[in-house]
Amino acid sequence: MASNLWTLCLSFLLLASGAMSATPRKAIDVPFGRNYIPTWALDHIKYFNGGSEIQLSLDKFTGTGFQSKGSYLFGHFSMQIKMVPGDSAGTVTAFYLSSQNSEHDEMDFEFLGNRTRQPYILQTNVFSGGKGNREQRIYLWFDPTKAYHTYSVLWNLYQIVFFVDDVPIRVFKNNKDLGVRFPFNQPMKIYSSLWNADDWATRGGLEKTDWSKAPFVASYKSFHIDACEVSVNARFCQTQGKRWWDQKEFQDLDAFQYRRLSWVRHRYTIYNYCTDRVRFPSLPPECKRDRDV
């Protein structure tokens, strides 16, 4: 009985904390084929459990990749990924949203592989109107090759948030008032790929891909998209302002999320363009607010 009561209390606490913290909903097991199609090197993608799980493989000849069927303006996009295990030096596994036009908008997760037991780096970037150069790099607080973890992007008119599991690791606010273009009118597709980038990825290109270890394999599942689907040419979303991600609790991080973001900042950051005074002698405008975190 006592344990029942305890379970009840615990579930209440969990529910309450879930309600207080505006974390986007958990992805359910969405199969690959519902939202995605392979883009290139189709024979380098393998399907398991009726397509609910897939593996991308990279060898000396080619990497591979896939993309969303639809184009989207705002929403929540997530994927569970298990990175290339063992010696993954020189490889890059990417998950990104991009409008792929000349003045493109884009948000990137790039996972830079490493030698066996050496840490991966997660690099993120945001492009708006074709302008990027907003790299941030962190180490993860777990080994991303051991189990699946959820990587997601929340995008609304107020902010773009990068999450690792439930932890916000980066926020790009709408700083239109500071003269910074915010992605709002160019539909994006979601892309993922695994390729060789040993000219820059690992220790700045010093560590080369060891092809005797090929094929390199990354695993994926839960291909969740909850977003406003529009045509590639659409400039606005019909349901703008009405969906869950537009609501008040998703317009800014809450105190708990800011604490977690600041924990990532202080414990795991390797590089932040906002503090790179050599590259940017005058601070990029959006970084003025970035400092407050």
Residue in 92, 78, 114 with CA at minimum distance from that of residue 203: 114
Give the three-class secondary structure for 78. strand
Q: How far apart are CA 190 and CA 175, in angstroms?
A: 24
CA distances from 137 to 10, 47, 125, 197 (A): 36, 31, 9, 16
Nearer to ligand NAG, 249 or 276 (CB): 276
Give the contacts of 141 (CB within 8 A, at least 6 positions apart).
267, 268
Does position 86 interact with ligand NAG (CB under 6 A)? The reply is no
Which range touches ligand NAG (CB under 6 A), out of 60-68, 111-119, 152-160, 217-225? Answer: 111-119
Does position 93 interact with ligand NAG (CB under 6 A)? The reply is no
From 86, 119, 129, 215, residue interacting with ligand NAG (rule: CB under 6 A): 119
Encoded one letter per residue, x for contact with ligand NAG by CB under 6 A and - for no contact, window 121-160 reads x---------------------------------------
Known catalytic membership, residue 106: yes
As given in the structure block, the two tokens for residue 56 are 């991308």
Q: How far apart are CA 105 and CA 96, in angstroms?
A: 11
Known catalytic membership, residue 103: no
Which range touches ligand NAG (CB under 6 A), out of 40-48, 115-123, 153-161, 282-290? Answer: 115-123
Q: Supply angle C-alpha 264, 270, 274, rounded to 5.
A: 85
Nearer to ligand NAG, 131 or 213 (CB): 213
Q: Least distance (Å) from ligand NAG to the CB of residue 204? A: 7
Residue in 72, 68, 64, 6 with CA at minimum distance from that of residue 37: 68
From 68, 80, 114, 150, residue interacting with ligand NAG (rule: CB under 6 A): 114
As given in the structure block, the two tokens for residue 172 are 């790009």
Does position 85 interact with ligand NAG (CB under 6 A)? The reply is no
CA distances from 170 to 55, 58, 119, 281 (A): 27, 29, 19, 22
Does position 112 interact with ligand NAG (CB under 6 A)? The reply is yes
Nearer to ligand NAG, 51 or 119 (CB): 119
Asked whether the beta carbons of 121 and 137 are under 8 A apart, the reply is yes
170 Cα distance to chain centroid: 10
Does position 253 interact with ligand NAG (CB under 6 A)? The reply is no
Q: Supply angle C-alpha 69, 74, 75, rounded to 5.
A: 80
Q: What is the DSSP string of 90-105?
A: TEEEEEEEE--STT--
Encoded one letter per residue, x for contact with ligand NAG by CB under 6 A and - for no contact, window 185-204 reads -----------------xx-
* Catalytic residue, candidates 110, 135, 229, 249: 110
Which range touches ligand NAG (CB under 6 A), out of 59-67, 118-126, 167-175, 243-251? Answer: 118-126
* Catalytic residue, candidates 106, 135, 207, 229: 106
Q: Read off the amino acid at residue 13.
A: L
Nearer to ligand NAG, 118 or 251 (CB): 118
Q: Least distance (Å) from ligand NAG to the CB of residue 241? A: 40
Query: What amino acid positions are annotated as catalytic residues?
Result: 106, 110
Binding site residues, ligand NAG, CB under 6 A: 112, 114, 118-119, 121, 202-203
